[in-house]
């Protein structure tokens, strides 16, 4: 079936309602566009989980801070449309501001405070409030049974899981493993802000995550390893924001459960984030 593109909430709801009447299950892949292999892995998974796949492309202003890259964020709708068609997506919903924020940006917010002020939230105040708000709206506009997100944005995925559960959205939230470049760099639309040399250097983040994982599994104290990792990032020309170990269920301090290692660092014009889940026996 060819890809259909909609730009309004009502035409999207109409299409989805037709599929529902036919008893079909619907999967959603929300994106900000500039799609890469990581996004297409989400579409592939969505195809396995449902009869119809809806992808959204909307560069959401409310999740960007005043000095962030909202205006320069790569907008590549034509290429994204072709990529989604090739990946077997059924519907692309590409709304404008008037659809997503008909009464203005700041009139109504969805917030998950317990998870939003730490890690990336500490460096990007308001970011997760913007994410939770736009994802809740996208859920209402597309009415999916299941929604697929990348685990690269680990904290975002947790915020969305909590938001969906607490607000009672009847939507299964599925996380998909991070897709990586050959040197381990997590795929991200923002990688294109890197020069070829920086992109190569950025593989250090992945190596440090794996070294920290090995230390945890050997039963070594993790704090010195993280401090050393921060130093290695600085030495390699990064501006690290954090390199931390947290409880993977709560993002609180490490306890007896699984540990997630999380890192954010700036390199050149890019802010890079990555994480690694350490599963202890």
Q: Using the CB atoms, write b or e for 17-51: b if 16+ within 10 Å.
A: eebeeeeeebbbbbbbbbbbebbbbbbbbbbebbe
Paired with 242 in beta bridges are: 264
In sequence order, the 6+-apart residues with CB closer than 8 A to the CB of 264 are 119, 120, 123, 240, 241, 242, 271, 272, 273
- Smaller CB distance to ligand PAF: residue 87 or 233? 87
Name the one range near ligand PAF by CB under 6 A: 28-36, 140-148, 212-220, 260-268: 28-36
CB of 281 to ligand PAF, least distance (A): 32
Q: Which two tokens stand for residue 102?
A: 């008909």
The residue among 193 and 233 lying less far from ligand PAF, judged by its C-beta, is 193
Q: Is 54 in the site for ligand PAF (CB under 6 A)?
A: no
- Contact characters 92-131, ligand PAF, x per CB under 6 A: ---------------------------------------x
Min dist CB 211 to ligand PAF, Å, is 27
Per-residue x/- track, 145-174, ligand PAF (CB under 6 A): --------x--x------------------
Residue 249 CB-half CA count within 13 A = 6
Q: Answer for the pair 23, 47: CB distance below 8 angstroms, yes or no.
A: no
Contact residues toward ligand PAF (CB under 6 A) are 30-32, 60, 63, 131, 134-135, 153, 156
Catalytic residues: 39
């Amino acid at each position: 079936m060819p890809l259909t593109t909609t730009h309004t909430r009502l035409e999207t709801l109409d299409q989805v309602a037709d599929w529902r009447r036919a008893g079909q299950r619907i999967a959603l892949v929300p994106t900000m566009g500039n799609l890469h292999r990581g996004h297409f892995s989400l579409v592939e998974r969505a195809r396995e989980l449902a009869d119809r796949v809806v992808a959204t492309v909307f560069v959401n202003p409310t999740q960007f801070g005043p000095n962030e890259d909202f205006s320069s964020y790569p907008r590549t709708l034509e290429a994204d449309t072709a990529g989604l068609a090739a990946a077997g997506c059924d519907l692309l919903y590409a709304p404008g501001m008037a659809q997503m924020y008909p009464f203005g940006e700041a009139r109504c917010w969805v917030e998950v405070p317990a998870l939003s002020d730490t890690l990336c939230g500490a460096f990007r105040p308001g970011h997760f409030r913007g994410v939770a708000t736009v994802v809740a709206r996208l859920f209402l506009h597309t009415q999916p049974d299941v929604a697929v997100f990348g685990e690269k944005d680990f904290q975002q995925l947790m915020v969305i899981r909590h938001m969906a559960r607490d607000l009672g959205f009847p939507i299964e939230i599925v996380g998909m493993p991070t897709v990586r470049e050959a040197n381990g760099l997590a795929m991200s639309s923002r990688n294109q802000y890197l020069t070829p040399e920086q992109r190569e250097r950025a593989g250090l983040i992945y190596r440090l995550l794996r070294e920290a994982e090995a230390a945890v599994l050997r039963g070594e104290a993790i704090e010195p390893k993280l401090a050393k990792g921060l130093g290695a990032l600085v030495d390699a020309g990064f501006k690290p924001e954090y390199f931390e170990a947290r409880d993977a269920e709560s993002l609180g301090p490490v306890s007896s459960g699984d540990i997630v290692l999380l890192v954010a660092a700036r390199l050149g014009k890019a802010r890079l984030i990555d994480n690694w889940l350490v599963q202890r026996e």
